[in-house]
A and B are shown apart, each in its own frame.
Chain A
Amino acid sequence: MTRALSPTPGRWPEGRRYAVVVTVNFDAELALLGPDPSLASLEKTLSIFRYGAVRGAPRLLEAFSDRGVPTTWFVPGALVRPYRSLLDEVAAAGHGLGARGQRLERFDRLSEGACRDALHAARAAIGEVTAADDVGFRLPSGEWPPGLAAQVLDAGFGWSSSWTGDDVPFLVPAGDGRALVDVPFGHTMHDRLAFAWNFAPPMPLGQSRIASYEDVLENWQLELEGCRREGLCLVLQLHPEVAGTPGRIDLVWRFLDAVLETGEAWVASGSEVASWWRRHPGSGPEHPVELLRRVSPGSLT
């Protein structure tokens, strides 16, 4: 008898055993200036993130197009104007676009009105680049404040990829019988947490050493193996300035090749996975978000 999830016919389309979603967080200068606008004079530090726009993003786009991998790029709305031509290229290559707020806001520190304004501004900005109606939202950082799911839907976003805590998508209750599909991730599948480093301001906070490239790739491959075993959904988060260096693009190539060579993976955009999952009857009363709604109704809505 199996208690954990196991590969189930029909869980994913096209008879595929498991799903893989490759996402790119394109923050450019807002990685630094979103949380703290007063750092605008730190040109050298800002250049870390400009590297992502200049070299990293084109290198990632090439890796994806060589392999025919559809991806989803999360962009703060305020970057649409300064980086319009790059984002047009992303969209023209068939990748999905989503928003991480307007300026990588901490939504848990904003008033309800400021949340709403940021979400609407971000949705409008993404709408300038793509006519797609199923645009995703990713919480930049911090906690998920009560009522945010409803606000995300009201602003015209179709789905989210903001939570951890599950191996397949689930439905975040939004009140009034509505729900927001989330395509959750894990912290292992994240290039910036493994590799980003800066002297001042310190990144990461404790300035631990840059991780071993081979070890990180092996971690990713082990999570892929675990995902394959049970027929789950694996979400990778990449950042152009991190994964798009000449030395690290090799990890992206090898990970994607490992995904593709099994022939069992449904490699899909976040939007495709979310809309597929929307046909599910729901997360079930035993899902932790439903438990949270029962024990602490004010935590979510």
Chain B
Amino acid sequence: MYRSLVLPLVLASFTAGATAPAPPAPRPDSKAIQGEVPKTSEERLEVPPPPFSEGIFPCSGCHESMKPNRTRRTLVDFHDDIVLKHDAEHRWCLDCHDADDRDSLHLASGERVSFEESYRLCGQCHGEKLRDWKAGIHGRRTGDWNGHKKYLLCAHCHNPHQPHFKPLAPKAAPLPPVRPGQKRGTTR
């Protein structure tokens, strides 16, 4: 009896969550401990579209007619520009990309996740980063401090194949102070 009541309630909360404009960031610590939160829709956060290279998506555009080759190898014909510097020793393409559904990724469990939800894939190893990201501590956030906050996907800042944050050119250094009558760039 109790169970039959709960299911529609949970479903209703899913649909409500999908239509609401700003799903609040879930408090990961408390909810994870209590184990109340369903794993899928509730955790889906509003993110901008993933940063694909131009013309690369959908992957099925090319891959649909190709038979998946599951042998680990160095790619030569295509995607040979991708250099994996992300624990390359232990992993290759199909550890994250799904061979059967080319437009998806998959978790270690085999569960398929879309590119919009790729943070779940990253969070399998980088759990503490995922926790901080959901709380708004890791990563860049824009929007309002008291209202609608916008997230970015991990891949917006970290190239998944080479995740180390790229060095930047710094903006100009401040000018050192100048005494009245002194010419800039001189000591007198």
Q: Answer yes or no: are A and B bound together in one complex.
A: no
A residues neighboring B (CB under 8 Å) = none
